[in-house]
Amino acid sequence: MCWGGGQLLSAGIVRATIGMKGDIAWKLPFMLQWVWPVPLFIGAYLAPESPWNAIRRNKIEEATKSMSRLRKDGPDKQREVDASVAYIRYTTALEVAETENANFLECFKGTNLRRTEIVSAYPFQY
């Protein structure tokens, strides 16, 4: 939806500036595209911490607090938060165990070679 909205907005700006005379006709669309980074940076700064990232950095309390903010209030809220944090910790432990001795050359061996070939040969299949 954001892509469609952005394209619609840009098409409207180009349509509005198409009849203008002088350099402003092509400079205005270029100038207006640089307005968007400011609210995006502010939004990214104020966005809550991802519980997954907090657990990967071993900040369990921060992950629990963030998960509490994301869950709706209810009688089972704390149980759901604890279960979600436990699931994220379990999944992170599995990822660490799976990639403990991994290196770049493993992408080109065994079944990983087939996966690498598929991703490299067909990047736009989805």
The three-point CA angle 79-84-86 to 5° equals 95
Do 37 and 56 lie in one domain? The reply is no
Q: State the DSSP code for 71.
A: S
Residues constituting the chain: 126
Q: What is the pLDDT of residues 53-82, one digit of tens each?
A: 999 999 999 999 999 988 888 899 999 999
pLDDT for the residue 126: 53
Q: Is the pLDDT of residue 44 over 60?
A: yes
Mean pLDDT across the chain, nearest whole number?
88
Residue range of the domain that includes 56: 50-126
> What does the pLDDT average to over 32-57?
90
Q: Is the pLDDT of residue 125 over 60?
A: no
Give the chain's domain count.
Answer: 2
pTM of the model: 0.60
**Which residue from 46, 47, 82, 87 is spatially nearest to 67, judged by alpha carbons?**
82
The percent of residues above 70 in pLDDT, for the chain, comes to 94
Do 55 and 38 lie in one domain? The reply is no
Do 23 and 83 lie in one domain? The reply is no
Do 83 and 56 lie in one domain? The reply is yes
**Which residue from 30, 24, 25 is spatially nearest to 10, judged by alpha carbons?**
30
State phi, psi for 22 to the nearest 5 degrees.
90, -170
Do 63 and 119 lie in one domain? The reply is yes
Do 18 and 80 lie in one domain? The reply is no
Do 72 and 117 lie in one domain? The reply is yes
pLDDT for the residue 64: 94
pLDDT band at 90 (very low <50, low <70, confident <90, very high): very high
Structure tokens at 118: 């598929």
Do 60 and 30 lie in one domain? The reply is no
Do 66 and 95 lie in one domain? The reply is yes
Do 38 and 68 lie in one domain? The reply is no
pLDDT for the residue 33: 86
